[in-house]
Structures are given as C-alpha cells and as structure tokens.
Structure 1
C-alpha cells in the first residue's frame, strides 16, 4: 500500500479551506510527513491518519508555513505516551532547529528527536525503498524529496513451472526468490520461470521552488510529481521574484519528465474561491493533472496497473 494524503495545500497563508503545507505518505503503515505547517496535527486527526506510526518528518525549507506545525505535533505525541524516536530531516541547521523545539513550551519529551542535515544528492536507505534529497531553487536553502522503491521481482510463470515438472509449493517460492532447483536430475534456473524485474513506485515532492533541472531529472517516469504551483501564468513576474512556479511551468516540467500524474499544490490564497485558472493552464499542457485539495487521498498503484484512485474526504 502506498497512499498520499494532502493535509495542507495552501501557499504561505492558511485559508478557510486550505491549511499550510503538509503532505503525508503512508507506505505499508509507516507514516512520513513532508513539511508540517501550522495545524497539521489537527489535519491528521481529521484524516484519521494516526500519529504513532510517524517515523520521519522531511522539511523542504525553514519558512514558517512549512514548519510551525512541528512543535504542537511533537508535544501531542509526547502527551499520548510516545516513546519511539522521531527523525527530522532537512537542509542545514536541522540539528539546531530540533534543539530549539526541545526547549519550547516548558514540557519534557518522552521520546528522542534526531535532527539530520541533508545535502542535495543524499540518499536515506530504508527497507525496500529510499528517500532522495533534491536540490531546489527557492529564496532560502531548500530541498525536494523523492521516495523511490526498489525494483520488484518479475512475475512468476506458474504454467511454465508446471510444464517443467515443478510441483506447486516451496519450490515455486525458491525459484521466485532467485534460487536454482533440481527436478529429476535437471537443474531449473529462475530465469526460466520468472519474468524481468518490475519497477517499484516513485513519488517526487518539490517543496517551494522555481522549475529546476534537478527536479526534472529526478522526476523522470515518476508515478506522482507533487509540484509547487503557487500562481497562474499571468503572475509570472511575481512567481520569478518570489521563487515559486506557475501551474503552466509545473505542467511543462511534468510533460518533459514523462510523469504519470501531476499534483499541483502550494496554492496562493488569490485562488481560494476558484482554482480553475491553475487547472486549465496546466491541463492545456499535461493531461493527467489534479489541483490538490486538503484531505485528498491518492492510492499509488504499481506501473503494471493503470488506474490511480483519488479520494477526497469532506
């Protein structure tokens, strides 16, 4: 299971229907937060994500709308008896940031928080997947992130295995794991009954950024690209000055990268009542585009399946 939950989709300021930046990824029950704007813990409660399984927070940069939700969230987790450690990753000075968090509010945490500074290109390896830090272009030091799963074993051809005299059961499993077996004096190799390895899934989160080559290259053939689309193209000059991206620019990048689905987020408050300008200009360039809404959930299938499942909770 790989699910993306949009807890906050506003740009810079919260609105009546959008919270500040926070995207949660649930991978087989492990929760990861990408940015944590003000009020994120309440959004987690509304989305019923839980907090106990949260292992990591990945900060794109230290603007307030991306980090102010962290102090309240860690205090609530401590109040609920959390003892498992939490890692907070981000650009330089995360360690100092964690020290400041620990000193806020006159409360004593019951679990350890570790701050981990990342450089562009750093890779955090975990079981079955990795998180890659990506150089982005914003008004302060900033990172994007890519969750990249390892390749999966190829499909097992049961009919072929049976034709070769392999009885169903443990020998099937051994072949699928890559072990050669012997049947009636004949060696049967895994490649005789197991297809080519299949890709895992890839999700890219840009954070706040101008369109940049590092995001483009990392996003190639991604299942989902979650990209800054703060403004429409009629605000191009302001997008350049504020170091954000227009919806059209995000769509052009998604098209060049051949991603499967583009999700626009970090939406300016000027589009609070109507995101049509953002959607239409992106749609004109890239077909499979969605403007994120708070509480929107997306199930990410493997590439040998074709349909994404979108769900919005209201």
Structure 2
C-alpha cells in the first residue's frame, strides 16, 4: 500500500475550506509527514492520520509550512511518547526547529533529532528504510533555502512465469516458493532450475515527488522522471503569472508543463491561493490543457498510488 493524504492544500494562510501545508504518505504501515503548517495535528485527527510518526520532512521554513510542529510536539509529549522523532529540512533547520521546540513547553520528554539536508542527499533514518529511499532535490522558491523530496521504492522482483515453470516440469508447491525467494531448485530428473529461468526482469517500484513551494525548474523535471505521482505547487492561475514569478511560485499551467516534461503519470496540484479556495476549477482546467491527468488536491483527499504494470 502507498497512499497520500492531503492535510492542508492552501497557500500562505488557512481558509474555511483549506488548511495550510501538510501531507502524509502511508506505506506498509509507516506514516511519513511532509510539512507541518499551523493546525496540522487537528487535520491529522480529522482525517484519521496516525500520530505514530517517526519522521517529519520540511521543504523550507516559511511559517505556513512549519508552525504546526510546535503544537504537534507538545501533544506527542502529553501522550507519553517515548520514541525519538526525526526532523529534516534545508539549511537553517537546526536553528528554526530548536527554537520551535522550546516554545510552550518546559522540556520535550522524548528525543528529537534535527538533520539539515542538502539537495542531492539521500536521507538516512535511525532504522534502515524498508524497501524505499528518500532523496532531496533543489527547488527555486527564494527567501531562503528550499528543497523538494522524492520517495522512491526499490525495484520489485520480476513476475513468476507459471507456464514456463510447468513446461520445465517443476511441480507446484515448495519448489515454486524457493524460486520466488531467489533459490535454485533441483528436479528429480537431475535438472537444476535457477530463478532467472522462470522469473522475469525486475520491475520498478513506485515514485512520488513533492515539490513544496517553487518556481518551475529543471531540477524537478529530473527528480520526478517517470513519477507515479507528482505533487506540485500551483499557487496561482495564468492571470497571475507575473505574480507567481515574482514571489517564487508556480501557476497551474507551469506545474502541468513540469509534469509533461518529467513524463509523470499523474499530477496533483496543491498550495493554492485563497482566491481559489472555494473553487479551483480554473486551475484544474489550465493544467489539463497541458497535462490531462491533472487535478487540484483538497484537504482530506486520499490518493492510492498503484504499481505501474
């Protein structure tokens, strides 16, 4: 299972319909939080996202992307959390987050480790990541360091060719199981069958790319190549193209052009200006004119990311 839950899809400030930035990715029982804007913990409660987090990833440190971590840490402490919490962000993360952790509490009753991340880093975790990696890539937002993140699964084993196995005279049962585990088997006729004889080439895992705030840039195209899901900011529509450029943001059309160039399979737009809070139909229309499989995310939206066949 690989599922994305949008906790906040508004730019700069919350509205009645949308909270500020927050995104949870669920994979095989693990939940990763990307951004933690004001009110994120309430959104987690509202949409059933577990507080059993081990890691939070920040793209940059404008207020609408991190202020919620203050309340979240306090709540985790009140719940008696003993496990460490790992926070990641670009240069400046240690100063900003260390200050945030000291607000409103005498002490944090569980360990917190802050790691400053550079574009190009593959992020290490306390426990080895099981079947996936997280990479940071450069973005172009302005006003301080900013990065995006890619969650990339490892390759999957190839398909087991049932017809070929039967043609080779391999009886169904334990021998099939050994082959799928990568073990050679020996048949009663003296023949040795290797896994490569009945298992096809490795298949790619899934890839989710998340930009945070950014202008459209080549680094996103590179990072999101072939992405199963690209989550790209789209603060403005085309009528505000100059404003998007001047403030380090993207229009929906520009985000769609990035999705097209990266050969992404699906595009979800987030971080939309309050002017589109009630209806973002115009943003969706502008994006789909360039990249048909585009939608504007909404708070509470849950999206499954399937394997490509």
Q: What TM-score bracket applies, with the shorter chain setting the length?
A: over 0.9
Deviations 1:229-261 (A, max 9, x none): 000011111001000000000011111111110
1:80 aligns with 2:79: yes
1:70 aligns with 2:69: yes
Question: How is 1:94-105 mapped onto 2 (pairs within 5 angstroms)?
Answer: 94-105=93-104
Q: Would the aligned equivalents of 2:92 and 2:116 in 1 still touch at CA under 8 Å? A: yes
- Whole-Å separation in 2 of the counterparts to 1:194 and 1:243: 48
- How far off is 1:128 after superposition? 0.3
> Cα deviation per residue 1:42-84 (whole Å; 9 max; x = unaligned)?
00000011202x1111000000000000010111011111111
- Asked if 1:287 is matched to 2:287, the reply is no
- Deviation, 1:213, is 0.7
**2:54 alignment counterpart:** 55
Which of the numbers 137, 140, 147 marks the counterpart of 1:137?
A: 140
Unpaired runs of 5+ residues, structure 2, are none
Q: Does 1:216 align with 2:221?
A: yes
Counterpart of 1:123 in structure 2 is: 122
2:268 aligns with 263
SS in 1 for 2:104: helix
* Structure 1 stretch displaced more, 221-230 or 77-86: 77-86
Q: Distance in 1 between matches of 2:181 and 2:106?
A: 50
Contact 2:17 2:278 in 1 (8 A): no
Q: What's the TM-score once normalised by structure 1's chain length?
A: 0.94
Secondary structure at the residue paired with 1:114?
strand
Q: Given that residues 6 and 295 in structure 1 are in contact (C-alpha distance below 8 angstroms), is that contact kept between their aligned partners in structure 2?
A: yes
Q: CA deviation at 1:280?
A: 0.8
Native 8 Å contact 2:73 2:101 kept in 1: no
- The separation in 1 between residues aligned to 2:183 and 2:95, in whole angstroms, is 49
- Select which of 138, 148, 154 maps to 1:150: 154
**Count of matched residue positions in the alignment of Structure 1 and Structure 2:** 303
Work out the CA distance in 2 between the residues paired with 1:175 and 1:191. 9
- Please show how residues 245-264 of structure 1 align to structure 2 within 5 Å: 245-264=250-269
Contact 2:74 2:105 in 1 (8 A): no
Aligned runs of 1:23-34 on 2, under 5 Å? 23-34=23-34
Q: Distance in 1 between matches of 2:76 and 2:111?
A: 12
**Alpha-carbon offset, residue 104 of structure 1:** 1.6
- Distance in 1, matches of 2:208 and 2:301, equals 16
